[in-house]
Structure 1
Protein backbone atom coordinates (compact mmCIF):
# COMPACT_ATOMS: atom_id res chain seq x y z
CA UNK A 1 0.00 0.00 0.00
CA UNK A 2 1.39 3.41 -0.89
CA UNK A 3 0.42 6.96 0.07
CA UNK A 4 -2.31 7.24 -2.53
CA UNK A 5 -3.81 3.96 -1.35
CA UNK A 6 -3.96 4.84 2.34
CA UNK A 7 -5.46 8.27 1.68
CA UNK A 8 -8.54 6.60 0.24
CA UNK A 9 -9.23 5.18 3.73
CA UNK A 10 -8.31 8.16 5.96
CA UNK A 11 -10.18 11.44 6.32
CA UNK A 12 -9.76 14.55 8.41
CA UNK A 13 -13.06 16.31 9.05
CA UNK A 14 -13.23 19.09 11.65
CA UNK A 15 -16.84 18.06 12.39
CA UNK A 16 -15.81 14.50 13.25
CA UNK A 17 -13.75 13.60 16.33
CA UNK A 18 -12.34 17.15 16.57
CA UNK A 19 -10.54 16.88 13.25
CA UNK A 20 -8.50 13.82 14.16
CA UNK A 21 -7.64 11.48 11.29
CA UNK A 22 -10.38 8.86 11.10
CA UNK A 23 -11.22 5.87 9.00
CA UNK A 24 -13.68 7.04 6.33
CA UNK A 25 -17.26 6.09 7.09
CA UNK A 26 -16.53 5.51 10.79
CA UNK A 27 -15.76 7.46 13.93
CA UNK A 28 -12.70 5.27 14.57
CA UNK A 29 -9.52 7.34 14.66
CA UNK A 30 -6.05 6.33 13.59
CA UNK A 31 -5.10 6.80 17.24
CA UNK A 32 -7.84 4.37 18.34
CA UNK A 33 -6.38 1.70 16.07
CA UNK A 34 -2.81 2.36 17.21
CA UNK A 35 -3.84 2.19 20.87
CA UNK A 36 -5.67 -1.10 20.37
CA UNK A 37 -2.64 -2.64 18.69
CA UNK A 38 -0.26 -1.16 21.28
CA UNK A 39 -2.35 -2.66 24.07
CA UNK A 40 -1.60 -6.09 22.66
CA UNK A 41 -4.63 -6.70 20.46
CA UNK A 42 -3.92 -8.47 17.21
CA UNK A 43 -5.25 -7.16 13.93
CA UNK A 44 -7.74 -10.03 13.95
CA UNK A 45 -8.97 -8.99 17.41
CA UNK A 46 -9.36 -5.37 16.30
CA UNK A 47 -11.36 -6.53 13.29
CA UNK A 48 -13.51 -8.83 15.46
CA UNK A 49 -14.22 -5.99 17.90
CA UNK A 50 -15.05 -3.58 15.05
CA UNK A 51 -16.79 -5.59 12.33
CA UNK A 52 -17.22 -2.44 10.23
CA UNK A 53 -13.43 -2.20 9.80
CA UNK A 54 -11.47 -3.88 7.03
CA UNK A 55 -7.90 -5.15 7.21
CA UNK A 56 -6.93 -2.57 4.56
CA UNK A 57 -8.21 0.21 6.82
CA UNK A 58 -6.06 -0.99 9.72
CA UNK A 59 -3.03 -1.10 7.40
CA UNK A 60 -3.91 2.38 6.14
CA UNK A 61 -3.96 3.69 9.72
CA UNK A 62 -0.52 2.23 10.38
CA UNK A 63 0.92 3.66 7.18
CA UNK A 64 -0.65 7.05 7.86
CA UNK A 65 0.91 7.14 11.33
CA UNK A 66 4.30 6.04 10.02
CA UNK A 67 4.23 8.72 7.34
CA UNK A 68 3.24 11.38 9.86
CA UNK A 69 6.18 10.46 12.07
CA UNK A 70 8.61 10.45 9.16
CA UNK A 71 7.28 13.75 7.83
CA UNK A 72 6.36 12.12 4.52
CA UNK A 73 2.63 12.88 4.67
Structure 2
Protein backbone atom coordinates (compact mmCIF):
# COMPACT_ATOMS: atom_id res chain seq x y z
CA UNK A 1 0.00 0.00 0.00
CA UNK A 2 1.38 3.38 -1.00
CA UNK A 3 1.00 6.38 1.26
CA UNK A 4 1.93 9.10 -1.22
CA UNK A 5 -0.15 11.71 0.61
CA UNK A 6 1.60 11.02 3.93
CA UNK A 7 4.88 12.90 4.30
CA UNK A 8 7.63 13.12 6.89
CA UNK A 9 9.90 16.15 7.18
CA UNK A 10 11.94 16.93 10.29
CA UNK A 11 11.33 20.64 9.62
CA UNK A 12 7.53 20.26 9.62
CA UNK A 13 5.76 19.31 12.85
CA UNK A 14 8.93 17.68 14.19
CA UNK A 15 8.90 14.98 11.52
CA UNK A 16 5.48 13.62 12.45
CA UNK A 17 3.30 12.08 9.75
CA UNK A 18 1.67 14.97 7.87
CA UNK A 19 -0.64 15.44 4.92
CA UNK A 20 1.15 16.40 1.69
CA UNK A 21 3.86 18.41 3.45
CA UNK A 22 1.37 20.67 5.21
CA UNK A 23 1.29 21.38 8.92
CA UNK A 24 -1.71 19.05 9.28
CA UNK A 25 -0.80 15.81 11.02
CA UNK A 26 -2.33 12.43 10.42
CA UNK A 27 -3.06 12.26 14.14
CA UNK A 28 -5.15 15.45 13.93
CA UNK A 29 -7.22 14.09 11.05
CA UNK A 30 -7.74 10.73 12.76
CA UNK A 31 -8.69 12.51 15.99
CA UNK A 32 -11.27 14.65 14.19
CA UNK A 33 -12.87 11.54 12.67
CA UNK A 34 -12.74 9.71 16.00
CA UNK A 35 -14.53 12.62 17.65
CA UNK A 36 -17.41 12.45 15.21
CA UNK A 37 -16.62 14.98 12.50
CA UNK A 38 -17.80 14.01 9.04
CA UNK A 39 -15.59 14.28 5.99
CA UNK A 40 -17.63 17.30 4.87
CA UNK A 41 -17.16 19.02 8.26
CA UNK A 42 -13.42 18.41 8.19
CA UNK A 43 -13.14 19.74 4.65
CA UNK A 44 -15.13 22.84 5.64
CA UNK A 45 -12.85 23.44 8.65
CA UNK A 46 -9.66 22.72 6.67
CA UNK A 47 -10.43 23.75 3.06
CA UNK A 48 -6.91 22.93 1.86
CA UNK A 49 -7.50 19.26 2.65
CA UNK A 50 -9.08 16.86 0.17
CA UNK A 51 -11.30 13.87 0.86
CA UNK A 52 -8.45 11.61 -0.29
CA UNK A 53 -6.24 13.10 2.46
CA UNK A 54 -8.72 11.96 5.10
CA UNK A 55 -8.94 8.52 3.55
CA UNK A 56 -5.14 8.26 3.39
CA UNK A 57 -4.87 9.29 7.05
CA UNK A 58 -7.27 6.56 8.13
CA UNK A 59 -5.52 3.97 5.94
CA UNK A 60 -2.14 4.94 7.40
CA UNK A 61 -3.49 4.73 10.96
CA UNK A 62 -4.97 1.30 10.20
CA UNK A 63 -1.63 0.19 8.76
CA UNK A 64 0.17 1.26 11.96
CA UNK A 65 -2.21 -0.70 14.16
CA UNK A 66 -1.69 -3.90 12.19
CA UNK A 67 1.27 -5.00 14.29
CA UNK A 68 1.66 -8.54 15.52
CA UNK A 69 2.94 -9.55 18.93
CA UNK A 70 4.92 -12.73 18.89
CA UNK A 71 5.65 -14.61 22.10
CA UNK A 72 9.29 -15.09 23.00
CA UNK A 73 10.23 -18.67 22.20
CA UNK A 74 13.95 -18.64 22.92
CA UNK A 75 15.97 -19.24 26.04
CA UNK A 76 16.71 -16.04 28.01
CA UNK A 77 20.35 -15.04 27.96
Q: Same fold (TM over 0.5)?
A: yes
Query: Of the two, which has the highest radius of gyration?
Result: 2
More contact order relative to length (CA 8 Å, sep ≥ 6) = 1
Please state which band the TM-score falls in when normalised by the shorter chain: 0.7 to 0.9
TM-score, with length taken from structure 1: 0.85
> Which structure is higher in helix share?
1
Structure 2 stretches lacking a partner, 5+ long: 68-77
How many aligned residue pairs are there?
67
Structure 1 stretches lacking a partner, 5+ long: none
RMSD of aligned alpha carbons: 0.9
Structure 1 segments of 4+ aligned residues over 3 angstroms from their partners: none
TM-score, with length taken from structure 2: 0.81
